[in-house]
Amino acid sequence: MKHLVGLFLLGLMLAAHPASAADVIVYTENYGDFNAVDDQGHVVGGAADLVRQVMDESGLEYEIKLVPWNRAYQLATKMDNAFIYAMLRTPQREDHFHWLTPVFETDLYLYGRADETRPIDIATLKTGRLTGACMIGDASCGILLGLGLPKKNLFEVADSHRGEMKVVASGRADVFVAQELHQLEDGRLILDPNFRKLFKLDEAQRFYLAAGKQVTPRFVESVRQAYESLKKSGSLVDVHHQHDVH
């Protein structure tokens, strides 16, 4: 009987923690033309290409999984074998992650609806007459608050960056923070005509492949060494070169 009970408990443990060939799970989200999912469900884009290149060089077995950003963030701060990209490096996050590999750098803008006629600047945000939308757990929430938007005027959405755009498009919020907004037209990337830039943030922002401080040190060091080796050889994928906008 004790033997049967032991087997039963072992079965429960294996069900809760299924075996996987991957040393590391790399979590990411759908992030415009830098990172997306193709018709076969594969994660594609310049950011994915660079991350795969570095992970292949590291020699680690890995799997890339695309999940909602808030879930990716939570997993990346709890699991000992989870990486995450593309993570914006901010002062608030600095001490909580290992910043392994720069993935891309991009300008960020404050956006409003295309038909927005009110003058909007940092002083206007601080008055409390405007509302802003951001995705839960995303750095853009902190950016809006840092620009002076009152906390009570922040509309946090749960699903994706498209969610915050929908909130602004519907008139439930006035502004959101994003990179260049692109959409496909006749196979070319064009700027999204539904929104307009209100102003650019002061400096370009850098996004990383990162790991929480709880991640196994061997995994962290393997990826760091892989990145340095590729950088030294001059063979790193150029993410920015793959995303010309017309």
169 and 145 in one domain? yes
**Cα(137)–Cα(156) distance, integer angstroms:** 9
214 and 99 in one domain? yes
pLDDT of residue 239: 82
178: three-class secondary structure by DSSP: strand
79 and 36 in one domain? yes
Predicted structure pTM score: 0.77
Q: Answer yes or no: is 90 within a domain.
A: yes
Q: Answer yes or no: is 67 within a domain.
A: yes
Is the distance from CB of 193 to CB of 80 less than 8 angstroms? no
| Structure tokens given for 146 | 């840092």
Q: Answer yes or no: is 28 within a domain.
A: yes
181 and 64 in one domain? no
**Cα(43)–Cα(45) distance, integer angstroms:** 7
50 and 120 in one domain? no
Low pLDDT (below 70) residues in the chain: 1-20, 32-33, 159-161, 182-191, 240-246
What total of structural domains would you count in the chain? Answer: 2
Sequential DSSP letters for 111-173: EEETT--S---HHHHHTT---EEEETT-HHHHHHHHTT--GGGEEEESS-HHHHHHHHHTTS-
148 and 117 in one domain? yes
Q: Answer yes or no: is 15 within a domain.
A: no
**Cα(47)–Cα(36) distance, integer angstroms:** 9
Q: Answer yes or no: is 169 within a domain.
A: yes
Q: Answer yes or no: is 6 within a domain.
A: no
Tell me the per-residue pLDDT of 83-123, one tens digit each, with 9 for 90 and over: 999 999 988 899 999 999 999 888 899 999 999 998 899 99
Q: What CATH number is given to the structural domain containing 174?
A: 3.40.190.10
| Structure tokens given for 178 | 């994003």
Q: Answer yes or no: is 14 within a domain.
A: no
95 and 47 in one domain? yes
215 and 100 in one domain? yes
pLDDT of residue 194: 86
Q: Answer yes or no: is 9 within a domain.
A: no
100 and 28 in one domain? yes
113 and 101 in one domain? no
210 and 101 in one domain? yes
* Domain membership of residue 216 as a residue range: 22-105+206-242
194 and 117 in one domain? yes
